[in-house]
C-alpha cells in the first residue's frame, strides 16, 4: 500500500537553534519585563520598537561587512517585491535608522530609549547561544560625554541587581577612533604577519579583513599568540585617552567592580572609544550584556556624526543564570480566586459572573469542562488561590454564591449581586 503522504513520521519541531518560551518559565520572563520597565522608567529611558525586518544594507553598512554577523550569521531573503530584507541580528543599527528617519534628535538631547525583543543570528547552536534569542537594550543618542558611557553601565548593573544577580563585573576597553585606530591596526598587522603560520583558519581571514578581531579569538593557540600583541592603550590619541580616563574615573566614583581588558574588541564594527561587557567572575567567557560607544554609526547611516552609546542584555543567558543559581524570580503576584461551577446552568451563569469579577480587576482562575466539585477544589488548592467561589444548582436557584476560604475551609453564602464587594473584602 502507498504511504499516506499527509501523515508525518515525526510531529513538527522548532527550527534548529530556536526555542519555545513555555508557561513554566512565565515568572522569569515576566520578572524581566516588570523589572525592566521599572528600571527604564527610573533611569528616564523611553520605549522604542523597530520592525523585526530591515533592509539588508542597514546591517552590512552599520555593523560592518567583515564581521561574523554580516558575513555568516544573517537570516536574509528576497521578498515577493524583490527587496532583500533581513531578520534583525541586533537592535542598535535599527534604532539609529529610526533616530535619523524620524528626526528624533530634535525632540530630546540626548535621546534615551530602551527596547526589547527577538534577534536572529545564524550561529552554531550551543548552550547559551541560539539562532533566535532576546535582548533588552538601552541607547543614549546625541551625547559624547563619558557621563553617559557610565550611565549605560549603571542602568545595566542596576537591572541585573534588581533581578537578584550578584557579583557582577565590567570588562572594559577602548577601541580608539579614526585618528588613533589606524596606527594601532598597522602595528597589529605587523605583529601578526610574523605569526601567520601559527594562527587558526578564522584568524587568517580576520588578518586579511578585520585585524582587530584577531584579539577576540577563543582558540587556545591564538590566545597565546595574542599575549605578545601590541595593545591599543599605547596608541590612543589624546581625545580617546582622556575619554577613557574619564570613564574609568566615573566607574571608580560609582564603585563599579571592573577589570580593564586590552583584548576586548567586540563583534560589531560600529564601536568607537568605550567597549565593555558585563560578566560574572566565574563565567567570564559568557557575557550577560555587552555594549559601548558608537559615534560613527550615525555618519555611516545618515551622513552626519551622531555620538551615541548603548548596551544590550542577553535575556536567555540571564534567565539561565537565574535558574542555575536558583534565584527566586522577583514577581509581585496578584492574589487569585478560583471559580468552581457545578452543572450546566452554573457554567452559563458562571461565565457572566467571572467576567464581572475580572472587569473589577480580580484575578479569577477556573477549570470548567466535566470536572466534579471535588476535582475543581483540588485544582483550586494546587493554584494556591486564596478563595474559591462555588456556584452549584442550589446557588443558581437562590441567586447566591458560596465563598470558601481555602486556608481555613470556612464557607459563607453571599448574594450574587454583591459578589464583587464580598470577594474584594475577603482578598484584602
Interacting residue ranges for ligand AMP, rule: CB under 6 A: 90, 121, 123, 128-130, 133, 135, 267, 287-290, 312, 314, 316-317
Measured from the CB atom, is 17 or 230 closer to ligand AMP? 17
Q: Given the complex with ligand AMP, which of 131 and 349 has the nearer CB atom?
A: 131
- Residue 255 burial by CB count (10 A; 0-12/13-18/19+): exposed, middle or buried? exposed
Pick the closer one to ligand AMP by CB: 148 or 192.
148
Name the residue with the smallest CB distance to ligand AMP. 314
132-141/308-314 β-pairing = antiparallel
Give the integer Cα–Cα distance in Å for 26 and 167: 25
Q: What's the closest the beta carbon of residue 73 comes to ligand AMP, in angstroms?
A: 8
Cα(390)–Cα(372) distance, rounded to whole angstroms?
Answer: 12
Question: What is the closest distance, in whole angstroms, from the C-beta atom of residue 147 to ligand AMP in the complex?
Answer: 22
Choice between 140 and 354, CB closer to ligand AMP: 140
222 or 289: whose CB is closer to ligand AMP? 289
Q: Which of 59, 130 has the CB closer to ligand AMP?
A: 130
Q: What is each CA distance from 47 to 113, 115, 142, in whole angstroms? A: 6, 6, 17
Whether 100 and 121 have beta carbons less than 8 Å apart is answered as no
- Our CB check for ligand AMP shows the closer of 173 and 423 to be 173
What is the closest distance, in whole angstroms, from the C-beta atom of residue 292 to ligand AMP in the complex? 9
Question: Which of 305, 18, 322, 49 lies closest to 164 in space, CA to CA?
Answer: 322
User: Among residues 121 and 226, whose Cβ is nearest to ligand AMP?
Assistant: 121
Amino acid at each position: 500500500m502507498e504511504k499516506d503522504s499527509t501523515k508525518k513520521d515525526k510531529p513538527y519541531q522548532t527550527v534548529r537553534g530556536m526555542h519555545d518560551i513555555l508557561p513554566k518559565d512565565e515568572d522569569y520572563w515576566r520578572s524581566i519585563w516588570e523589572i525592566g520597565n521599572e528600571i527604564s522608567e527610573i533611569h528616564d529611558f523611553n520605549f522604542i520598537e523597530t520592525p523585526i525586518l530591515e533592509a539588508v544594507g542597514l546591517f552590512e553598512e552599520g555593523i560592518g561587512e567583515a564581521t561574523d554577523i554580516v558575513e555568516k550569521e544573517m537570516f536574509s531573503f528576497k521578498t515577493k517585491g524583490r527587496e532583500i530584507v533581513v531578520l534583525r541580528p541586533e537592535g542598535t543599527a535599527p534604532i539609529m535608522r529610526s533616530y535619523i528617519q524620524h528626526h528624533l534628535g530634535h525632540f530630546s538631547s540626548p535621546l534615551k530609549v530602551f527596547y526589547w525583543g527577538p534577534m536572529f543570528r545564524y550561529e552554531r547552536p550551543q548552550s547559551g547561544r541560539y539562532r533566535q534569542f532576546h535582548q533588552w537594550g538601552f541607547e543614549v543618542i546625541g551625547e559624547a560625554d563619558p557621563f553617559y558611557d557610565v550611565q549605560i553601565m549603571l542602568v545595566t548593573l542596576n537591572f541585573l541587581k534588581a533581578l537578584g544577580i550578584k557579583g557582577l563585573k565590567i570588562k572594559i576597553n577602548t577601541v580608539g577612533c579614526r585618528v588613533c585606530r589606524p596606527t594601532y591596526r598597522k602595528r597589529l598587522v605587523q605583529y601578526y604577519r610574523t605569526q601567520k603560520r601559527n594562527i587558526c583558519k578564522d584568524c587568517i581571514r580576520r588578518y586579511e579583513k578585520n585585524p582587530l578581531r584577531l584579539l577576540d579569538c577563543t582558540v587556545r593557540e591564538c590566545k597565546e599568540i595574542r599575549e605578545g600583541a601590541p595593545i591599543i592603550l599605547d596608541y590612543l590619541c589624546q581625545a580617546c585617552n582622556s575619554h577613557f580616563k574619564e570613564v574609568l574615573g566615573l566607574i571608580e566614583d560609582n564603585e563599579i567592580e571592573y577589570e580593564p581588558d586590552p583584548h576586548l574588541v567586540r563583534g560589531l564594527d560600529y564601536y568607537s572609544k568605550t567597549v565593555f561587557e558585563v560578566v560574572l567572575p566565574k563565567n567570564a567567557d559568557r557575557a550577560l550584556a555587552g555594549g559601548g560607544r558608537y559615534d560613527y554609526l550615525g555618519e555611516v547611516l545618515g551622513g552626519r556624526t551622531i555620538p551615541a552609546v548603548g548596551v544590550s542584555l542577553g535575556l536567555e543567558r540571564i534567565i539561565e543564570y537565574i535558574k542555575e543559581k536558583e534565584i527566586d524570580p522577583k514577581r509581585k503576584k496578584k492574589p487569585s480566586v478560583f471559580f468552581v461551577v457545578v452543572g450546566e446552568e452554573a457554567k452559563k451563569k458562571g461565565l457572566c459572573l467571572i467576567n464581572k469579577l475580572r472587569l473589577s480587576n480580580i484575578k479569577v482562575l477556573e477549570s470548567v469542562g466535566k470536572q466534579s466539585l471535588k476535582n475543581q477544589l483540588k485544582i483550586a488548592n494546587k493554584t494556591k488561590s486564596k478563595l474559591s467561589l462555588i456556584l452549584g444548582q442550589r446557588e443558581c436557584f437562590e441567586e447566591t454564591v458560596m465563598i470558601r476560604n481555602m486556608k481555613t475551609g470556612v464557607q459563607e453564602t453571599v448574594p450574587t449581586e454583591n459578589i464583587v464587594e464580598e470577594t474584594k473584602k475577603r482578598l484584602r
